[in-house]
Chain A
Amino acid sequence: MADKSKLGLEFPAYTFIVEKDKIIEFAIAVSQKECKEEINPIYYDENAAKKAGYEGIITPPTFPTSSFFWTGGGLMGTIKTLGIDLGRLLDREEEYEYFGNIYAGDVITRKMKVVDMYTKGKGKRTIDVTILETELINQRGELVIKYRSTLMEI
């Protein structure tokens, strides 16, 4: 059962470079392709991205999720910290807000904190809800993407 004393907890900030090949790997995975040549060239070819109106190679809309488990001991460490039972864990809802784009080569600082924890339902049929908010801030200090993840234990 989620440990409600963790409400407000901030995970260690994590700073990483948005690697070109990581973007390609992620884009291949969500488009269910086998190789780079099969994905949209805006994910690997700077000229194609510029032609499409971007400053550089961009990232798929849900790419920020790939740094979700990069601190706090990965999935196992994160859920242990939060007191969540792995066998009951479900991702219920995700909401992304875009204030800008993340480009290949950007240096992104990821900040993640616990913004809500509560129990729904009564008696035996209760569900524990944990809401995490993650911010991605680029090398110029601009908040580019913010997302909320609603995790449930059923």
Chain B
Amino acid sequence: MTINYNDIEIGNEMPSYTSTPITRTHLVRYAGASGDFNPLHHDQTFVKMIGMKNVIAHGMLIMGIVGEAITSWIGHKYLRKFNARFLSMTEPVDWDDAENTKDRATIIVSGKIVKKFEENGEKKFECEIIAQDALGSKKLSGFFIATLP
């Protein structure tokens, strides 16, 4: 499916994307894949030492999930800019209390087209994005700019 510039309007929403609840295993996998071994994301003893309760997800994992949301809507080749500001921490699911903790670990990505413009001979649009957990806490806000045929 290819989206054309003429198919989109300001105010249109990008398809919403919901992540799998993030587990500590996802964090370890992302640490290995990204090379970001900050102990904040996997080592409970470090987390305790700096006065926090739980390990937290990498901001860049949340941005990566948002990247998935974007590229499952428009192709990589159209992406020109991708910005993310990290707003709050994301704690993973506790397996021994999954029912009560899965919502805080589930990331929902949504976005809305705010601008259409031409630049350097390309037809572009800007889409604001928000990632929040299933409890409504905002994790990341940002935008992307893409070109379309």
- Residue numbers of A with Cβ under 8 A of B are 22, 25-26, 28-32, 40, 42, 52-54, 58, 60-62, 65-70, 74-75, 86-87, 89-98, 101
Q: Can you name 29 A-B residue pairings with CB atoms under 8 Å?
A: A25-B32, A28-B33, A29-B30, A29-B32, A31-B68, A32-B22, A32-B26, A40-B71, A58-B76, A60-B76, A62-B64, A62-B82, A66-B33, A66-B34, A69-B37, A75-B38, A86-B38, A87-B50, A90-B86, A91-B58, A91-B59, A92-B86, A94-B60, A94-B63, A94-B84, A96-B82, A96-B83, A98-B80, A101-B77
Chain A residues with CB below 8 A from B63, complex form: 62, 94
Name the prevailing secondary structure of the A interface residues. Answer: mixed
- CB distance B76 to A101 under 8 Å? yes
| Contact A32 to B19, CB < 8 A, known contacts A61-B70, A61-B82, A93-B86 | yes
Complex CA gap A46/B36 in Å reads 28
Whether B83 pairs with A69 at a CB distance below 8 angstroms is: no
Q: How far is the CB of A135 from chain B (nearest CB, A)?
A: 15
Q: In the complex, what distance in Å separates the CA atom of A28 from the CA atom of B49?
A: 31
A75-B67 in contact given A30-B30, A32-B26, A101-B76 (Cβ < 8 Å): no
**A39–B60 alpha-carbon span in the complex (Å):** 19
| B29: interface (CB < 8 Å) | yes
Tell whether, in the assembled complex, residue A62 and residue B83 are in contact, meaning their CB atoms are under 8 Å apart: no
Report how far A54 CA is from B77 CA in the complex, Å.
8
Task: Give Cα A71 to B22, complex, Å.
Answer: 29
Complex Cα–Cα for A89 and B70 (A): 28
Known contacts: A62-B63, A62-B67. The answer to whether A29 contacts B35 by CB under 8 A is no
Partner of A29, one of B20, B49, B64: B64
**B61 interfacial by beta-carbon distance below 8 Å:** yes
Q: Are B71 and A95 in contact (CB under 8 A)?
A: no
* A38 CB → nearest B CB, Å: 11
Q: Are B60 and A65 in contact (CB under 8 A)?
A: yes
Query: When the two chains form their complex, are residues A96 and B36 in contact, meaning their CB atoms are under 8 A apart?
Result: no
User: Bound complex: CA of A58 vs CA of B30, how far in Å?
Assistant: 19
Which residues does chain B contribute within 8 Å of A92, judged by CB atoms? 85-86
Please name the residue on chain B nearest to A61 by beta carbon: B67
- Whether A60 and B38, one on each chain, are in contact in the complex, defined by CB atoms closer than 8 angstroms, is no
Is B65 at the interface (CB under 8 A from chain A)? yes
Please measure, in the bound complex, the distance between the C-alpha atom of A31 and the C-alpha atom of B19, giving whole angstroms: 8
Chain A residues with Cβ below 8 Å from B75 are 52-53
Q: Are B34 and A61 in contact (CB under 8 A)?
A: no
**A74 with B35: in contact, given A29-B61, A90-B86 (CB under 8 Å)?**
yes
Checking B39, B50, B67 against A60 with a beta-carbon cut-off of 8 angstroms, the contacting residue is: B67
Q: State which residues 62-106 of B face A: CB under 8 Å.
A: 63-65, 67-68, 70-72, 75-77, 79-86
Chain A residues closer than 8 Å to B71, beta-carbon distance: 40, 60-61
